[in-house]
Chains A and B, each alone.
Chain A
Amino acid sequence: MNPWLHGAVYGAGLLGFMMTVGALASWYERKFTAVVQNRLGPNVVGPFGVYQPIADAIKMLRKEEIIPRDADRPLYLLAPWIPTFLVLISAAAVPFGGYYAADGHWQSTWLVADLDLGVLWLLAVSGLMVFPIWMAGWSGNNKYALLAGMRMVAQGISYEIPMVLTALVPVIAVGSMSISDIVAYQAEHGWLIWKLPGIGLVAFVFFYLASLAESNRIPFDIPEAESELVGGVLVEYTGMRFGIVLLSEYLHTLVASIVASALFLGGGHMPFLSAMLPWWTAPIFMLLKVGALFFSIYWVRWSWVRYRADQLMELCWYWMVPISLAMVMATALMVTGGWL
């Protein structure tokens, strides 16, 4: 297929999928919260209240847009859109489908762009996420938002290091930065979470925790910290801009789930079943994995408490960074020693 046409078709598909899930995530979070807290949750609009995001969007679109008088106007208006854009493009290199070709090799399909440096693309784009949040924190001219922005920058930069290091573990083990190669390797040799003894599981957990920290979810949500900082960088935002920032946070959790399931859980591959079942089951397996990880984010949200700022830094710099470094070196030794 023509690469432009391919990019347009699959890009539109990915965009539609992510916006749908991102909108439904707000309903899902409220419903799951209600189940955990023995409440009913949204149940008025549509079956089980599933149209609630539409009602919320209409409400937010009709709200008054208040721009603070002393705000840095261009930055203030631009800040909500950039994280959404970044998070939407970051999943472009992840394959959602795949099948065993005639020669027994796993062929990854259903991805927007088969980048040779897919992992680098992901990390680079998620590294940029710090800037729009800081823009939002700075431009509103609000003390709470500024504090939240500073916390976010500190947390984002710190947790990027274990995230990059743990993402290097599959890269080194496979010997390729292309995510479709990583998925294909896992389909042929077993998932990396089990394939690397011990290291795989720890690397997966660390990568996932670092992704949680990057997307400001509990237990790493000190940038939001509604009990101390009112609403974090969202303080000055109203109407649809507020909604867009929320949407980008939900999308960030979705992308974290997608990437973690592709790097460590074998993407669309399922042991024993993939060899027997036709090609269209691979996206279903992928979505099952993404759904399980997505569920665990909300599970964790109502189970754990928020870290204090210094505990957060301690966890990152005393534990996750050294252990990740050791895991990267151990993986490199295993590869050079020929044990993989």
Chain B
Amino acid sequence: MKYFSGSIDSLIATIKNSFRPVVTESVRPEASRAERYRASFALTHDANGEQNCIGCKLCENICPSTVITVVAGPKRVSEFTGKKRGYADDFTVDLQACIYCELCVSVCPTDSIVMVRVQEQPSFDREDLVLTQDKLYANETSKPLSWANGTKLRAMLDPNASPEEDAS
């Protein structure tokens, strides 16, 4: 009898609950994404139009799911600064296994790799999810970049920094 009355009570509770006002909000596709939303990657150029990446492979080493592959080229003298520096001949990010942890961004010493705020489009081919160097450099101009780069993220991690600086 206890079970019987309990069953009836729960049925009544369901009906009562269904007359309560809705507490969730409607999905708004036009709404702006959160400030820190990040979805894909881009490689950046410096002020001279030269690639930022020096091929140090820090991002390749720190990546937890090992989706980044950097092929470092030989060091040569930059024609703009006159200093000897490294270059990356090839740079791929395999989004199929990426966990979007942003560790590659925070470790980058030259602010070369950053995240962008728009996802890659869905596709029928798995190879479309592998970001090649060309796609990464194209993302720099075609998609809005995330606010974070390696310098800012490392400054936030500094325990001696004043709390106001991290408000960005």
Which A residues fall within an 8 A CB radius of B? 32, 35-40, 43-44, 299-300, 302-304
Contact = CB atoms under 8 A, between A and B. Distances in A.
Contacts of A44: 27
B34 interface: no
A38 B11 contact: no
B47 interface: no
A43 B24 CA distance: 12
Contact of B21 (A32, A38, A299, A300): A38
B10 interface: yes
A44 B7 CA distance: 35
B7 A304 contact: yes
B26 A38 contact: no
A303 B18 contact: no
B77 interface: no
Nearest to A301: B14
B15 interface: yes
A302 B10 CA distance: 9
Q: Which of B7, B13, B14, B17 has the most CB of A within 10 A?
A: B14
14 contacts: A36-B17, A36-B18, A37-B17, A38-B20, A38-B24, A39-B22, A40-B22, A40-B24, A43-B27, A299-B15, A302-B14, A303-B7, A303-B10, A304-B10
Contacts of A299: 11, 14-15
Given A299-B14, A300-B11, A302-B14, 10 more contacts: A36-B17, A38-B23, A39-B24, A40-B22, A40-B24, A40-B25, A40-B26, A43-B26, A303-B10, A304-B11
Nearest to A300: B11
A303 B13 contact: yes
B24 A303 contact: no
Contacts of B7: 303-304
Interface string B130-148: 0000000000000000000
Contacts of A43: 26-27
B133 to A, nearest CB: 29
A35 B18 contact: yes
